[in-house]
Amino acid sequence: MAGKEGQQHPLSVYFWVWGLLFVISALSYWVDYAGFQGYLRWTLILIFMFLKAGLIIAIFMHMIWERLALALAILGPPIVLLVLIALMAIEGDYTEITRLIYFGEDTTEFLGHH
């Protein structure tokens, strides 16, 4: 029985991805150096983080060359977790206001009333 040969990818693909990861990391550090604040800062950092993670998963973990079923089996659970985290973040204000009301604390500062 002859051994099955694995698929070989050109090294240039890995060098391009390495270069892209370097550029994205530099942009991520630039966000801190430039002094962005608030939601813009965190949005840019998260975008760069997801881009880097996606490139690493797609190329270095060979997910781009896998079958769709395997890719979804590996990527599905983290996507579901991100959706659940987003739902918890949306619900967070309601939960905090409910606790403040239940424990009898003043909610006017939290609600933005003066």
Contacts of 64 (CB under 8 A, 6+ apart): 58
Cα 35 from chain centre: 21
What proportion of the chain, given as a percentage, has pLDDT over 90?
28
- 38 half-sphere exposure, CB direction, 13 A CA radius: 1
DSSP one-letter code for 91 = H
**pLDDT for res 64:** 78
Whether the per-residue pLDDT at 1 is higher than 60: the answer is: no
Count Cβ atoms within 10 A of the Cβ of residue 25 and give its class: 0-12 exposed, 13-18 middle, 19 or more buried: middle
Return the pLDDT at 108: 63
CB atoms within 10 A of CB 68: 7
pLDDT in tens, 46-94: 999 989 988 888 888 877 777 877 778 877 888 899 899 999 888 877 7
Domain boundaries, the chain: 10-65, 67-114
Q: Encoding tokens for residue 25?
A: 């990391």
Whether the pLDDT of residue 8 is over 90: the answer is no
Question: Considering only CA atoms, which of 25, 14, 79, 13 is closest in space to residue 52?
Answer: 25
* pTM of the predicted structure, to 2 decimals: 0.60
107 or 72: whose pLDDT is higher? 72
Per-residue pLDDT of 11-43, as tens digits, reads 888 899 999 999 999 999 999 899 889 889 989
So what's the pLDDT on residue 113?
55
**What phi and psi, each to the nearest 5 degrees, are found at residue 38?**
70, -145
